Amino acid sequence: MKITKFKFLVFLFFLGLFLYYWGQPHPFESFKNDISGLFNTEKKKAKEPWTREGRGDTEASDTKSNEDVASDTRKPPKDRTIVDILKDAVEEGKSVLPSPSGGTSERIEGLEQFIPSAKNNTEIVRHTAFMLSYQEEYEQASWVLHILKQEASEGTEPRSNEFMADPKVQSGSAVSQDYSRSGYDRGHLCPAGDFKYDKALQDETFYMSNMSPQAPDFNRGIWSDLESRVRKWAKERGDLVIVTGPILSEGLSYIGKRNQVAVPEYYYKIVYDPNAQQAIAFLMPNEGSHDLIKSFAVSIDELEKKTGIDFFAKLPDSVEKKIESRVSIDDWF
């Protein structure tokens, strides 16, 4: 009798598991993530991401948890380009970003001039750390713009992992629960790791307007590797202008309990060095990869065709043509 009762209880247990996960959009991924969370010991956390093995890269990745993953509008004088503003700020030792108290600087004024041009820029949201264009029909941003400071890699502030709805999104942003048990990470577009030097700025990156559904192996693997590599470039080159976003189009699948959040198939990142007037762009599928980071490099012109966004429309035409038309791998690797 005891054996029969035990078997019956085991049957009920597995039946309950089946019914619970069957209702999820991605039942297998949800089950796999929940199981991995139970065995996510400190010893495992200390290991490098799985994508590191066999890739040939030498830069260590930032580790990510299971949950991962306002400025002036005045224009510069007509006789000064954006590059002039940025170079002057570097020479004068001015801060790239607004202070934590909310003040602005000449460099943030310069950042305004890097706002991408697009027909769907209907709701531009400005935070102290970054700005973005929110797309209500996809419940995420089509682009996120920020400046990566040279000292970003030296920050020590811990991650808060407190994901919050964005009160500045007038149409209402996605919420953290939209991602729960979906099989996808709350993937940062503007990385939290770029603001380890300032807790207030880093906390802002956890607004849900800055999140997009990313496959765990992608978010914690090749995407994290790219973010780490960009911080390395900032340390070597100086402050960089970064534009990041998903490729949003019709026909995408959706997740969400309260809001319908589109799941992008590809993500892009553009890195611009205003001092050297050099740029590099990447387009990556939303999946794990063992390939080298540089194998995903594309021209900015190609990204503009895929997104319908003009990324550096306010730069002088000569500079825009120089940085957008070619894939400049040798300048960066």
**Positions marked active-site:** 188
> Could you give the count of Cα atoms lying within 13 Å of 279 in the half-sphere of its Cβ?
27
Structure tokens at 16: 């309950």
- What are the two backbone dihedrals, phi and then psi, of residue 103, each rounded to the nearest 5 degrees? -70, 160
Backbone angles phi, psi at 263, to 5 degrees: -105, 105
Q: What angle do CA 212, 175, 215 make, to 5 degrees?
A: 30
Distance CA 5, CA 247 (A): 53
Half-sphere CA count of 184, side-chain side, radius 13 A:
26
Cβ pair 70, 261 in contact under 8 A: no
Tell me the C-alpha distance between 262 and 243, whole Å: 20
Residue 284 bridge partners (DSSP): 267
Nearest to 113 by CA among 82, 79, 86, 144: 82
Place of tokens 């007038």: 170
Could you tell me if 298 and 326 are in contact, meaning their C-beta atoms sit under 8 angstroms apart?
A: no
DSSP string, 58-86: -SPPPP--TT------PPPPTTS-HHHHH
Element spanning 171, H or E: none
Residue with tokens 């300032």: 198
